[in-house]
Amino acid sequence: MRTLTSLVTAAAAVVGYVALILAIAAGIDLRERLTFHDAPAQYAAFVAALDRGSAQDARAVSDWFRDNAPSPSKSRASISLGADSAEDGDFDLARRFTDDVAAKISEDQATLDRDTADAWSLAAPWLVIGAILVGVTVFLRRRRRAANAEVVELVNQFVPPRPVWRRPVFMVVTGIGYTLLIGGFMGLIVVTRANAIPWDVRGFILGGGVVGLVISYYVLRYSRPRSARAAAQVLQADWRKPVLYLRDFSHDQSAAVVDGVPGALASGLLTIHSREEQLVGALGAFGPVIAVGRPGEPLPHLGAARFYLPFDDWQPGVLKLMDLSQLIVLRLGEGEGLWWEVEQARTTQPPGKLVLLIPGGGHGLAGRLDELLPAPTGLAKSAPTGQWTSAVVAFDHEWHPRVHAVGPFPGEKNKYGAPVFYVARAMQEALGVRWSAVRINSGMLKTFGKVLLIVPAFFLIFFLLRLIFAW
């Protein structure tokens, strides 16, 4: 159903844009046809101007025909020649040029009638199909919003209000930032690989690429947190039950790191997404990912969609969300609140619903976890150090842990570089599902797709308003 909704929405957007373009074109034709209906009266005013010997009034009528007659137009050409003759003082010649203008006006009106009918005949099927697709899209989206209504109602209690305009505007700004980023990155690749380009041109491309990368960094740093969706919006955009991501707030700083990819310029592999963003991209294979935000933070961290529970009464909200979620991903940490969450998930939720992420060097954490389980994980003595995540732990139906190490297999080259790829693969093994590496870095593609819908909409609305006010 989620795929069907996405396909219908995309089809409705494409057909809607085409229908709107054709409708605007047909509206312009209709406006020209209705305006030109005043042509006989204008021609009568032209004849009267010739009778009065007023070349100025004749030229004014000629200007009206120039602005409102169809192109090409027989009547416009005759009136223009008549006005030129009148300005030269030869009013008899002007009359001879314009004797048959009444018949030519009828021909021009017939041409406008035919063009308008053809334009609306072309636009009508697209408008009908677009209206049907929009109706189906609205129906499916209402059904989709109802799928997580209970979770949305809970989360909405703790989501601070934001201006409606903020996200669309900053999405466009983010799209511009991504464009500058990719343009600068491609410029550097061209400089390093295109030996046939003259050195002065290379210097220009190199300078432009560096400037583009610097500007994109600051643009994206400012715009991306402001274009992030709130938790309620993320939930309303998906049919599936949410994935609840729990962690110690002290881990947000390490999760916000953007890992460099070895040999990025040589391989063409580039990411600007944080570890948490990439992890959420992988978890998106299950459902929308939400997380409790740190109280008082001015902007949400990028990754899981944030909502904010009361500082002194957060436990009931977490328990309710545990019940409503299809998967709980919990990163171990030192905080007592986090261990309360571990204990509650252990005692109130089915084993297959909980996945634990073990930080690198978390020997003490693994030992404390072993005290809560019927069998030890074995990580208290063997957990690697220096890794963002060293192991993923899932559970069988009796809460026996299944440990999956994070990292390259022995002898495997570090092809992807970023550690989140290996975290995702370990989760893949633990949960028995498969997803592509593209999903981990899908944020940029999604933003581009939305910007491709938003930017043309601005232009179409502008032209539509211009047509309306032109009437």
Q: What is the pLDDT, as a whole number, of residue 386?
A: 63
Q: What is the pLDDT, as a whole number, of residue 453?
A: 62
Answering whether pTM is above 0.75, one says no
Distances 145 to 107, 137, 235 between C-alpha atoms, Å:
55, 12, 8
Instruction: Spell out the domain ranges in the chain.
Output: 2-147, 149-454
DSSP state of 36: H
The secondary structure of 279-332 as a DSSP string is HHHHHTTTS-EEEEPPTT-SSPPSSSEEE---TTS-HHHHHHHHHH-SEEEEE-
In 3D space, the residue among 455, 406, 432 whose CA is nearest the CA of residue 13 turns out to be 455
Q: What is the pLDDT, as a whole number, of residue 342?
A: 94
Q: What is the pLDDT, as a whole number, of residue 458?
A: 62
Q: What is the dihedral of CA 373, 369, 304, 242, to 10 degrees?
A: 10
Mean pLDDT per 10-residue run, the chain (471 residues)?
Answer: 78 87 88 90 93 92 90 88 91 90 91 92 93 91 83 79 81 84 81 74 84 88 86 85 92 81 45 82 87 85 88 89 94 91 94 90 81 85 70 91 78 56 82 59 57 62 61 54
Q: What is the pLDDT, as a whole number, of residue 78?
A: 92
